[in-house]
C-alpha cells in the first residue's frame, strides 16, 4: 500500500476509536439563532455570530450593492491591483475604531496570525505564548523559527520569569478572550510585564472585538490599552462582525513592515471588495447599536444564573462563550447528541482542540437570541445533563 494512504487510513481509524472523529453539518439556511439542517430546524448555540450581524439585511444589501459596482473577485493581490476603495475605507475605519494609527486587512485570522508572527520574528528571538492560545497563534510561533515557549494559562509571574531568563528580543502573544474557555487574558498586567522588558505584546481579540467594552472595541478597550501597551492588535471579521477576514492594527511602522514583508499578505488574492463593503456596514451597525451588546450581556447573565441553579459545571467566563466541562470526549459527544435530538445545536469540543480530559460543550450566545430561547437551552440542559 502507498505509505501516505496507509498512514491516513490508520490515523482515521484511530480517530474513530478515540471518539474524536469530526463530521461536518451542512446548513440549508442563513446563519442565525435558528438554522436548518437535514430538513429540521434547530436552535443554534454554536456560532460565533455574537451580534447577529451575519445575515443582517443592511449588511446583505451593502454586499449586493457593492458587488454591482465592484463585481465579485478582487482579481489580484493587494500589492498588484487587487486593493480597491472599499478595502482602503475599511482599513481606515478599523484604525479609527480601534484608536490605532493604521490597520491592515488579511484574508483570514489564521493568515493574519501566522503572517504577523513569521514576518516579525526570526531565529534567535523568543516567542512566549499562553498554553491556551488559538491554534493559529501556536502555529505562527512554531513556523517563525523563534525559540518557542508556552506559559501556564494567564500566569503573568511565570511569563515574567521566562522573559527575565530569555535575553534577546522577546515577543508575547495571547488571546484577548480565550476561544474555548471564554475567559479573558490579564492584559493590563501583561502589558506592564512586557513594557518593563522591551518585549512586544500581541493580542488576538477574535472573540472580544465587537463584544467587550463600552464601544465594543474589545479587550483592549476594557483594559484601556493603546498601541504603546499593545503594539500588535489583531481581530477577525468573521465573528462579531459577521462577515469574513481579519485585520492587524498598530503603528505606521508595523503596518508598513507587514505590507512589505508579510508573505501571507503579499502572496494571496485580496478579499472581494464587496465583502469589505459589507464589513463596513457591519462595523457601522456595531457602532450605532449598542443595544446588541447590552442584550447579549443580559443573556449571558441569564444563562449563568440558570446554569448555576441547575448546578452545571460553568467555567469562569463573562463572555458569550459559556463552556460546560464534560471531561472525556465520548461524554461530550453523547451530551451534544442528546441536545440535538431536542432540537438544539451545541458544539462538542474535543482534543486536540482542547487538552485531553477537558472535552466540553461550547455554548455560544448571540444578541440575536431571545430570552425564551436561552430558557429553552437551560430546560434542555436540565433534562440532558446527568444528575450527580
Asked if residue 289 has a cis previous peptide bond (ω within 30° of 0), the answer is: no
CB of residue 200 to ligand PLP, shortest distance in Å:
18
Part of the chain binding ligand PLP (CB under 6 A), chosen from 105-113, 149-157, 287-295, 322-330: 105-113
359 binds ligand PLP (CB under 6 A): no
The 3-state secondary structure of 359-378 reads EEEEEECCCCCCHHHHHHHH
Of the candidates 120, 100, 134, the residue with the CA atom closest to the CA atom of residue 208: 134
322 binds ligand PLP (CB under 6 A): no
98 binds ligand PLP (CB under 6 A): no
126 binds ligand PLP (CB under 6 A): no
CB half-sphere exposure, 300, CA atoms < 13 A: 23
Q: What is the DSSP letter of 77?
A: B
CB-wise, 98 or 136, nearer to ligand PLP? 136
CB of residue 52 to ligand PLP, shortest distance in Å:
18
Pick the catalytic residue from 78, 87, 207, 295: 207
Cell of 148: 518557542
CB 82 within 8 Å of CB 76: yes
Burial class (CB in 10 A: 0-12, 13-18, 19+), 103: buried
Burial class (CB in 10 A: 0-12, 13-18, 19+), 125: middle
CB-wise, 132 or 163, nearer to ligand PLP? 132
211 binds ligand PLP (CB under 6 A): no
Could you tell me which residues are beta bridge partners of residue 349?
A: 360
129 binds ligand PLP (CB under 6 A): no
- For residue 207, indicate whether it is catalytic: yes
Of the candidates 346, 330, 368, 374, the residue with the CA atom closest to the CA atom of residue 18: 330
Pick the catalytic residue from 179, 219, 319, 366: 179
136 binds ligand PLP (CB under 6 A): yes
CB of residue 215 to ligand PLP, shortest distance in Å:
21
Interface residues for ligand PLP in 219-238 (CB under 6 A)? 236, 238
CB of residue 34 to ligand PLP, shortest distance in Å:
23
Pure H helices in the chain: 3-17, 57-70, 85-98, 109-120, 135-143, 156-166, 187-195, 219-223, 252-261, 263-266, 273-288, 291-309, 329-341, 371-384
CB of residue 155 to ligand PLP, shortest distance in Å:
19
364 binds ligand PLP (CB under 6 A): no
Interface residues for ligand PLP in 168-207 (CB under 6 A)? 175, 179, 204, 206-207
242 binds ligand PLP (CB under 6 A): no
324 binds ligand PLP (CB under 6 A): no
Give the active site residues: 179, 207, 239
Binding site for ligand PLP (CB under 6 A): 108-110, 113, 134, 136, 175, 179, 204, 206-207, 236, 238, 246
Amino acid at each position: 500500500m502507498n505509505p501516505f494512504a496507509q498512514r491516513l487510513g490508520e490515523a482515521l481509524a484511530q480517530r474513530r476509536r478515540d471518539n474524536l472523529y469530526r463530521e461536518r453539518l451542512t446548513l440549508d439556511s442563513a446563519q442565525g439563532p435558528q438554522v436548518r439542517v437535514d430538513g429540521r430546524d434547530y436552535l443554534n448555540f454554536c456560532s460565533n455570530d455574537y451580534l447577529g450581524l451575519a445575515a443582517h439585511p443592511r449588511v446583505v444589501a451593502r454586499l449586493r450593492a457593492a458587488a454591482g459596482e465592484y463585481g465579485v473577485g478582487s482579481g489580484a493581490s493587494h500589492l498588484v491591483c487587487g486593493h480597491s476603495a472599499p478595502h482602503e475605507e475599511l482599513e481606515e475605519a478599523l484604525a479609527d475604531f480601534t484608536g490605532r494609527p493604521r490597520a491592515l486587512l488579511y484574508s483570514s485570522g489564521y493568515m493574519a496570525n501566522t503572517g504577523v508572527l513569521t514576518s516579525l520574528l526570526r531565529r534567535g528571538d523568543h516567542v512566549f505564548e499562553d498554553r491556551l492560545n488559538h491554534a493559529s497563534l501556536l502555529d505562527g510561533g512554531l513556523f517563525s523559527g523563534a525559540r518557542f515557549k508556552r506559559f501556564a494559562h494567564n500566569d503573568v509571574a511565570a511569563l515574567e520569569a521566562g522573559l527575565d531568563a530569555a535575553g534577546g528580543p522577546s515577543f508575547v502573544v495571547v488571546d484577548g478572550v480565550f476561544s474555548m474557555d471564554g475567559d479573558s487574558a490579564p492584559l493590563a498586567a501583561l502589558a506592564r510585564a512586557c513594557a518593563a522588558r522591551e518585549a512586544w505584546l500581541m493580542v488576538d481579540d477574535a472573540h472580544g472585538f465587537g463584544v467587550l467594552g463600552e464601544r465594543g472595541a474589545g479587550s483592549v478597550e476594557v483594559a484601556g490599552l493603546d498601541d504603546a501597551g499593545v503594539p500588535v492588535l489583531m481581530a477577525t471579521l468573521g465573528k462579531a462582525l459577521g462577515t469574513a477576514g481579519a485585520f492587524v492594527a498598530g503603528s505606521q511602522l508595523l503596518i508598513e513592515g507587514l505590507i512589505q514583508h508579510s508573505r501571507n499578505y503579499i502572496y494571496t488574492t485580496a478579499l472581494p471588495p464587496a465583502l469589505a463593503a459589507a464589513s463596513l456596514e457591519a462595523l457601522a451597525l456595531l457602532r450605532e447599536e449598542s443595544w446588541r451588546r447590552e442584550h447579549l450581556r443580559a443573556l449571558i447573565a441569564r444563562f449563568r444564573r440558570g446554569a448555576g441553579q441547575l448546578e452545571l459545571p460553568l467555567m469562569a467566563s463573562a463572555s458569550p462563550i459559556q463552556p460546560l466541562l464534560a471531561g472525556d470526549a465520548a461524554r461530550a459527544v453523547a451530551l451534544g447528541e442528546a441536545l440535538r435530538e431536542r432540537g438544539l445545536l451545541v458544539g462538542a469540543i474535543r482534543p486536540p482542540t482542547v487538552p485531553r480530559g477537558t472535552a466540553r460543550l461550547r455554548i455560544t450566545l448571540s444578541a440575536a437570541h431571545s430570552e425564551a430561547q436561552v430558557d429553552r437551552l437551560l430546560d434542555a440542559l436540565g433534562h440532558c445533563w446527568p444528575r450527580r
